[in-house]
Structure 1
Amino acid sequence: MKVRIGRYPLGMREVEVYARDGNGAEFHAARPSDGMAEIVIGLDRERWWEVFNYLLHEAAELVFADLAVRYRPTPDYANAADGFTFVFDHSKFSEAMARVACFLTAATPHLLQAFEKYRNEQKREASTRRTSKRSTTPKKRSTEGKA
């Protein structure tokens, strides 16, 4: 499942936000098909703050890339996602946070709706599985009082 949440301003660009099954998140600075930036968020978490953390993290990292303060060591044969370094002064940090704040203000309510819908569907499916499992389990016959 990959569902489009919406398109939101993030600094000098617009970003499409998608929700998907699973954990984690990622951003793509420019899709090969049309050059649009996208952030994809996994909804399979118990708590809303965990999903919101993904959105905040990816939005900030994309802004850091736009501001040219995100660096990857080279050579990087392992292509490790955790190998980035960020270098910026307070002015760049303030600019980054202002861009992220505008983005989060617009995107958060829609992602929260998607998260709540996803969690409700997960609970319904779990309940249905439990109910169907009970109805297909043969009942044991009582042998009390029989000779």
Structure 2
Amino acid sequence: QNIIEVPLSYHRQWRPYYPTYVLFQYNGTTHFVRFHKYGSRYFFSDGLKQFRRTHDIDDSVIMRFFIADKNTSFEVDVIGPIHRQGCPRSVLATRRHIFTPDVTEHMMQHSFPLVLPPAALNFLFGSQKVIPVRRGYGKRNQ
């Protein structure tokens, strides 16, 4: 498929006025990619096939999108083939956010939930407010 679902964080900044197209910038070239709505979901679609073909980007690579504000111009970062991928599959999109909460030995011993910082909650779905902290067993994980 030559569509990529719009990552959740972009819905927050564009809702309810989605642009009709965005610009993908990669290796010094700019490509117009149109938005399409299917049901309640939005996808990058028209122009994506040409973008992949121009830069020889396979479906089995991860494409990361970077945008600093509400503009529609993206910097695209392409990561190589997915590690140990048996058969080719399309990867939608990823966006990494790193949060570093404090974890104490007391939390590890009692398997308390790791409560995420308030800033992290903006990037998760409503059901994921905590992450369980599990202590590993064995020589390597003590």
Structure with the higher fraction of residues in helix conformation: 1
Q: Which has the larger radius of gyration?
A: 1
TM-score range, shorter chain: under 0.3
Structure with the higher fraction of residues in strand conformation: 2
